[in-house]
């Protein structure tokens, strides 16, 4: 039985360092505990076996499994158990971040690949679910995993305001703070330069904000943005940039690109952690030559990934698609390509066909909270009278928890009476729908059929609903 006077009991577990090559499938006893088949050892062993089967095992990093044990005297003991991949997978080889291009589609510019991070690989193309303030509203990390999420996005600006980067760092960084053991990306806060236009002043060195919470004056520049993101501890962080709304004047676009290049270089110089990948952001509106100049400057600085910012901010979907089709193939073929803030299913498919790998948008969860459910056939507005007597799931054949358990009529009822379960359940479905869509896209690329899948969606996608096509607000 554990010694209740043991000074290690109740302490936060420290990161384990081990020279062991492989995890041995045996329980590790508590300090002072007999190494026999008692219940605690069985629980520990069971947790380890579950961990070994999990898709969260990362061949590129050693991580620590924390299992909380409760013994008969109710003394809580935290155990730190290092675990490694099975002998069939190579150990971490020193390349923490590595883009592996597996295949390209024969009929389009689509790419199938993997991006390795300290918290696991990301199968690309991928869609990031947004947890602005360190949480996806109403959805637990376990539910996100069940829905198929690989990587989450959190917002630097909002987390810097509340609870503060120092608080997140005190709790071990975002992965531990959020209890999310997969990859995380944080934006730079640069988007607030764009979205909080009435609360800001911009100069060549950075941006001065007036907090939307209490009016406090906040200064954000490349150095401070990277300092905050280093403290937050996400796997992928973004260089500070300036976005402008379209249409924009040539002078505004020139100024935005000049600052974006200058701030990208400052961001790279300020970056202090080799376990975080810093991506550069290409600006320039719909001006191909200006974008090309920005991209070349960022390539000279050298980033492990490149993002396209400043799209879906006023131009039409057709304008965006025409630009992506021309410009994306000019981006580095050996690095991930990230299209920021674009999230309609048809826009994702068109962007993938242009060669984009990574996406984010608030649409799945924001629309879910507003009684709007995504399906292949159409978007369901669940407050409509037509669903009052419906026994159908949101989408036939959908394996998500919501579709397996609740009919449309019940979900409509939840929204009409203001029950919080309604937004949660539809958010879960929408998140799962997006992840299934990305899985279908990856399968179609592997089979050389992405053009067929794109054609299928184009035939049934109506004109964009302005309410559904905007990803601009935080979630």
Query: Would you list the domain boundaries of the chain?
Result: 1-89, 98-366+462-469
Q: Mapping DSSP to helix (H, G, I), strand (E, B) and coil, where does residue 51 land?
A: helix
Q: With 0-12 CB in 10 A as exposed, 13-18 as middle and 19+ as buried, what is 208?
A: middle
- Among residues 187, 221, 235, 357, which one is catalytic? 187
Query: What local confidence, expressed as pLDDT, does residue 60 receive?
Result: 37
- Among residues 105, 235, 241, 360, which one is catalytic? 360
Helical spans, DSSP H, in 94-203: 141-146, 156-161, 165-170, 174-178, 191-195
287 assigned to active site? no
- For domain 98-366+462-469, which architecture applies? Alpha-Beta Barrel (3.20)
Instruction: Tell me how far apart the alpha carbons of residues 340 and 354 are, in angstroms, rounded to a whole number.
Output: 15
Query: Which residues partner with 238 through β-bridges?
Result: 279
Instruction: Tell me how far apart the alpha carbons of residues 396 and 403 are, in angstroms, rounded to a whole number.
Output: 8
Tens of each residue's pLDDT in the chain, 475 residues: 444 444 443 443 333 332 222 222 333 333 343 444 344 333 433 333 333 333 333 433 333 333 233 333 323 323 222 323 323 233 223 358 999 999 999 999 999 999 999 999 999 999 999 999 999 999 999 999 999 999 999 999 999 999 999 999 999 999 999 999 999 999 998 876 667 666 778 899 999 888 878 888 889 999 999 999 999 999 999 999 999 999 999 999 999 999 999 999 999 999 999 999 999 999 999 999 999 999 999 999 999 999 999 999 999 999 999 999 999 999 999 999 999 999 999 999 999 999 999 999 999 999 999 999 999 999 999 999 999 999 999 999 999 999 999 999 999 999 999 999 999 999 999 999 999 999 999 999 999 999 999 999 999 887 666 555 556 556 7
Contacts of 185 (CB under 8 A, 6+ apart): 128, 151, 152, 153, 154, 234, 235, 236, 237, 238, 360
Instruction: Tell me how far apart the alpha carbons of residues 202 and 221 are, in angstroms, rounded to a whole number.
Output: 10
> Considering only CA atoms, which of 278, 157, 264 is closest in space to residue 219?
157
* Residues 341, 344, 348, 354, Cα dihedral to 10°: -80
Between helices 421-447 and 345-354, what is the axis angle to 10°?
Answer: 30
Instruction: Tell me how far apart the alpha carbons of residues 62 and 47 are, in angstroms, rounded to a whole number.
Output: 17
166 assigned to active site? no
Query: Which residues partner with 220 through β-bridges?
Result: 207
Instruction: Tell me how far apart the alpha carbons of residues 25 and 40 are, in angstroms, rounded to a whole number.
Output: 15
């Amino acid at each position: 039985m554990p010694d209740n006077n043991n000074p290690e009991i109740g302490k936060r577990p420290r990161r384990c360092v081990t020279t062991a090559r492989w995890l041995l499938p045996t329980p590790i006893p508590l300090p002072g505990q007999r190494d026999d088949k008692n219940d605690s050892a069985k629980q520990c062993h069971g947790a380890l076996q579950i961990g070994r089967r999990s898709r969260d095992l990362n061949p590129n990093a050693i991580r620590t499994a924390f299992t909380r044990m409760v013994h008969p005297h109710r003394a809580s003991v935290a155990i730190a158990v290092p675990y490694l991949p099975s002998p069939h997978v190579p150990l971490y080889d020193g390349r923490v971040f590595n883009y592996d291009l597996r295949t390209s589609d024969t009929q389009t510019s689509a790419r199938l690949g993997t991006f390795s991070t300290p918290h696991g690989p990301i199968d690309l193309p991928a869609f990031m679910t947004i947890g602005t303030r360190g949480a996806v509203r109403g959805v637990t990390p376990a539910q996100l995993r069940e829905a198929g999420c690989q990587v989450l996005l959190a917002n630097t600006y909002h987390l810097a305001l509340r609870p503060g980067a120092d608080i997140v760092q005190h709790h071990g960084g975002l992965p531990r703070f959020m209890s999310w053991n997969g990859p995380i990306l944080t934006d730079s806060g640069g988007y607030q330069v764009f979205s909080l236009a009435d609360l800001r002043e911009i100069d060549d060195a950075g941006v001065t904000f007036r907090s939307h919470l209490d009016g406090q004056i906040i200064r954000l520049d490349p150095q401070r943005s990277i300092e905050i993101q280093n403290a937050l501890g996400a796997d992928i962080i973004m260089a500070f940039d300036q976005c402008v709304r379209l249409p924009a004047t040539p002078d505004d676009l020139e100024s935005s690109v000049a600052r974006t290049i200058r701030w990208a270089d400052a961001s790279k110089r300020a970056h202090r952690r080799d376990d975080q990948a810093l991506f550069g952001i290409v600006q320039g509106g719909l001006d191909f030559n200006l974008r090309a100049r920005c991209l070349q400057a960022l390539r000279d600085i050298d980033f492990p990934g490149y993002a396209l910012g400043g799209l879906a901010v006023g131009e039409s979907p057709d304008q965006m698609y025409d630009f992506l089709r021309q410009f994306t193939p000019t981006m580095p073929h050996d690095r991930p390509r990230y299209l920021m803030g674009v999230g309609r299913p048809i826009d994702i498919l068109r962007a993938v066909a242009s060669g984009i790998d990574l996406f984010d948008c608030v649409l799945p969860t924001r629309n879910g909270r507003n009684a709007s459910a995504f399906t292949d056939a159409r978007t369901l507005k669940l407050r409509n009278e037509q669903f009052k007597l419906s026994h159908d799931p949101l989408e036939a054949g959908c394996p998500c928890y919501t579709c397996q358990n609740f009919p449309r009529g019940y979900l409509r009822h939840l929204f009409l009476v203001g029950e919080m379960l309604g937004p949660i359940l539809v958010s879960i479905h929408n998140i799962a729908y997006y992840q299934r869509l990305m899985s279908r896209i990856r399968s179609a690329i592997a089979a050389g059929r992405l053009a067929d899948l794109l054609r299928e969606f184009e035939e049934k996608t109506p004109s964009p609903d302005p309410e559904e096509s905007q990803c601009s607000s935080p979630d």
